Homo-oligomer: A and B are copies of this chain.
């Protein structure tokens, strides 16, 4: 394949068609997103335990990088709540918050996770993210949202509190509640009420006031900006900072310096695992947002190119004093609603944030930390999805147990352990479930050519020729289970002469499955039972032809099960068409692995 620059630089594709009206739309969207991003960047930096300017820096260069390399037309990248929490957890293992080493660790995390995403993208290994199952990701996000909200309550109360898990956080909050600051509590609670209210009621109210839905959506999203401005004015005018309200204070008014964070082999190695988790979680989140938005316009995002785009974005955060970034749901939705048409909107937003860093920060001096905490709480509580938990519970107990483990471990033992536990458990459960597949003893439905599960239908079975339907691909984890089932059936039927394996749902047979079939064939031969196959799929048959199995098979391969039974026990097949066909009972052959087939399994 020839090297096509546009493959790796999507900007070359949309840049060619860039027109004046596209520019206008992108500029408008950029202004709106910039206004929204300023308080968010400051808040998430606080959540990550970093100085406020780090949050702003993470919203400049990464946006430009994504504009060049990303494939989503409307994704808005920058700091997000979950990655801020994960950054805090990882950097906290290296040094305490507030130290230079802690900040360096955050930068290293950005470089490492960006590099990992970039390498995965170049290797086209985006599929790795697929091993994070939906219930695990959803459980992880819910648990993280709860942890984040709880951790921000101290700012609402104006107290010092700590804790590394939900239990510790709550205990610490309760212990320190005595020292709460009244002015802070008022500001904090007022902001919470205002933000929840504007989220809930402002949009419908604006629509009732005859605004277009689009305008109403955007204005409703500016709640945080209004809270910020109102609270700054209140603190400045009433001199509440002297009453103990903690404020943002001075934010350095310069742009980030470029350069790699300090290199220390041991620390970089120590942060590898955390960076891997941050990159995977960030990617999964971002790509699902990007796909949702792209689908609305029948556009596509290329997951492997997205890895490159997000990788370069995080890398450039790391080299410009920022911390790990990814595509955020809220800001991308605003960007989309505000009419952004190309990634250029992201680049314009970056310019907006840079200008804000240079000229706006002095006006934010009196911004109360309680307001930032309130914006975080309101944002993350929308991540808590209790409905999803209930749905997974009713749909699949196996998925639910992976989800519950993720939530509990994340809440009480930490984010990194939580997500790894969830992934490991969901992989194990998947393998376990497919290792005990659905096998059905099938018999002929009287008067028809159809063969159905004896446990679900009234069917006729033969004394000398039985058919077992295999409802799963045969691979190493279930191959031996098939052997057990076959031997059980054979040892229960002394008159058996023929066994047919019906393979209509077998999508693949690996070398272990083949070896089990060979062993079954040989052992049945020793027991004077012929083995036959029916309804084998094309690709599976192609594969079997490469082995000696078909030559050694004691029986035949039939196109369909009816042909097989007609050939192997014509009397029985004919009897099934008579008026008084005798159907069998479901437990005609008491093999535990067949009993499974009668029930829905969790």
Chain A residues with a Cβ under 8 A of chain B? 127, 129-136, 288, 291-292, 294-296, 298-300, 303, 391-392, 394-396, 398-400, 403, 426-427, 430-438, 456, 471-473, 475-481, 483-484, 487-488, 490-491, 494, 504-505, 507-508, 510-512, 514-516, 519, 523-524, 526-527, 537-539, 542-543, 546-548, 600
Beyond A295-B487, A303-B480, 11 additional contacts (C-beta under 8 Å) are: A127-B436, A130-B476, A130-B480, A130-B481, A291-B523, A395-B547, A399-B511, A426-B476, A437-B507, A472-B507, A504-B505
Q: 8 closest Cβ contacts across the A-B interface?
A: A295-B523, A133-B476, A399-B511, A134-B512, A134-B515, A296-B526, A133-B512, A130-B477
Cα distance A396–B147 in the bound complex, in angstroms: 47
Please state if A527 and B296 are interface contacts (CB–CB under 8 Å): yes
**Residues on the B chain within 8 Å of A295, using CB:** 487, 523-524, 526-527
Please state if B431 and A131 are interface contacts (CB–CB under 8 Å): yes
Please state if A394 and B546 are interface contacts (CB–CB under 8 Å): yes
Please state if B298 and A527 are interface contacts (CB–CB under 8 Å): yes
* A511-B396 contact in complex given A296-B523, A435-B127, A456-B538, C-beta closer than 8 Å: yes
Closest partner residue, chain B, to A453 (CB atom): B538
* A481-B511 contact in complex given A296-B526, A491-B298, C-beta closer than 8 Å: no
Closest partner residue, chain B, to A400 (CB atom): B511
* A505-B508 contact in complex given A299-B491, A491-B298, A523-B295, C-beta closer than 8 Å: no
Please state if B131 and A546 are interface contacts (CB–CB under 8 Å): no
* A487-B130 contact in complex given A395-B546, A527-B295, C-beta closer than 8 Å: no
Please state if B396 and A127 are interface contacts (CB–CB under 8 Å): no
Partner of A510, one of B396, B488, B512: B396
Please state if B296 and A510 are interface contacts (CB–CB under 8 Å): no
Please state if A490 and B132 are interface contacts (CB–CB under 8 Å): no
Please state if A130 and B435 are interface contacts (CB–CB under 8 Å): yes
Please state if A430 and B600 are interface contacts (CB–CB under 8 Å): no
- Most chain B CB inside 10 Å of its own CB: which residue of A294, A295, A480: A295
Please state if A476 and B507 are interface contacts (CB–CB under 8 Å): no
**Residues on the B chain within 8 Å of A484, using CB:** 303
- Most chain B CB inside 10 Å of its own CB: which residue of A299, A395, A471: A395
**Residues on the B chain within 8 Å of A527, using CB:** 295-296, 298
